[in-house]
A = this chain, B = another copy of it.
Amino acid sequence: MTTTLINGVSANCIDVQDRGLGYIDVQDRGLHYGDGLFETFAVINGEPALWDRHMQRLQLGCQRLNFPNFLGPDLALLRSEALSLSGDVTQGVLKIIITRGGGGRGYRAPPPLAAQVTRILALYPWPDYPVAFWSEGVTVRVCATRLGWNPALAGIKHLNRLEQVLARSEWDDASVPEGLMLDIQGNVIEGTMTNLFVVRNGQLLTPDVSQCGVAGVMRSWILACARMAGIPSAITSLTLDMVTSADEIFLCNSVIGLWPVREIMGIPGCSFQVSGPITTDIMAKLRDSTVS
């Protein structure tokens, strides 16, 4: 059962014709152009985890897309709506979508002051991934779909996600929960729904996302945890060779936290220790933190 608020109105109030749980204006620029942003939260005991970090990225996205001023009171409104949906939830997923709202045909956006942002909050059940994905690690594949470069859109979590949709459509095997995506130059950037970390020579490395990819909230939290724990870390370029020859690999996002990678399919002999020292250390830090 999904629970939804659209511009503060419970979806039940505008439900018609029994076709779903909520509707948005068909002229919304989120639909026409993907002209919007989203954030996905783990909700744990009524609290959307890492709220401030998610709001920082949302604000960065609003600045990049030149959205109307989305600061101060509106963030408080979002928080209040998020808590009203999450209050009774022990474990769930909250997705917030912000679009530029309506505005007629044409790429030209209405002036910031005139734009009426659309605000969607939807609650979803916790995904039923096997416990072994955390304890024994996951098998991943390498996607053929590449990430195009666009520094203006890189890092933020916007609604133009066809690259991820195409990459995720490349396989259909529930035992392989994720695929790695390379950019057009062959650098490994991220998974379709996760960020990537590797450990090489005791150093924690994660790909640069200034040309493409998403600057994940869990990625930033893990980098902060590493700093606090004194684990040397760096944001860098990673070739596929650097990934396949790493000592440890893990994936992360706001919902799963961290999955160690056990194996990369299709690359002979490419398996990793899933309880390597730095992976184990970071997993413990996440368990101790507000995330879980």
Contacts and interface: CB of A to CB of B under 8 A. Distances in A.
B161 A33 contact: yes
Interface stretch (A13-21, A133-141, A265-273): A13-21
Contact of A192 (B20, B30, B107, B184): B107
Interface centre among A19, A23, A149 (most CB of B within 10 A): A23
B14 A17 contact: yes
A222 to B, nearest CB: 22
Interface stretch (A73-81, A151-159, A236-244): A151-159
Interface residues of A, number: 69
Nearest to A27: B20
A254 to B, nearest CB: 12
A32 B38 contact: yes
A165 to B, nearest CB: 5
Given A65-B165, A65-B166, A95-B105, 9 more contacts: A20-B102, A21-B27, A31-B31, A33-B165, A34-B159, A34-B162, A109-B169, A148-B148, A158-B162
